[in-house]
Amino acid sequence: MTGERDLDALLNTMKPELQPGTFVFCTIAPNAPIPAALNPRLTFREQEGTTLVVLREEAEAAGLPYAFPSSLITLTVHSALDAVGFLAAITARLARAGISVNAVSAFHHDHLFVPVDRADEAITILQAISGNAS
């Protein structure tokens, strides 16, 4: 299935879904194995180390220091990986409200990590963008 590329269609049909849990960003040494007790939602290897995004309780249980306790919002529209402007439009609106966001594009959907204490506000803004306000 091919993802959507039309910006208007993406913005009008995306439905933001708040995922359960509080996620945090951790780092481990480059080429170090990922601890078996962790189930990372995201893994990204950089020269300085491997970033892991995991549930806060997993990081704490593993004794890993972490940063940016965040809520995960999934934008439930199948966006094409080469779609132009979708995340720019979304993140610009959140930026105007002073909400920081770490955006991740996966194969089927785009995902936003936002500060835990701003998640409800972010959902409200995203619903207004898509015309899906409750």
With bands split at pLDDT 50, 70 and 90, how would you rate the model's confidence at 2? confident
Angle at 42 between CA 86 and CA 128, to 5 degrees: 30
What are the pLDDT digits (tens) for 31-82? 899 998 899 999 999 999 999 999 999 999 999 999 999 999 998 876 656 6
* Burial (CB count within 10 angstroms: exposed 0-12, middle 13-18, buried 19+), residue 86: buried
3-class SS of residue 2: coil
DSSP state of 79: B
Is residue 75 within 8 A of residue 105, CB to CB? The reply is no
| pLDDT tens readout for residues 4-15 | 666 667 767 788
- Give Cα 50 distance to the centre of its chain: 17
pLDDT band at 85 (very low <50, low <70, confident <90, very high): low
Q: Are 54 and 39 contacting, i.e. CB atoms less than 8 angstroms apart?
A: yes
**How many residues belong to the chain?**
134
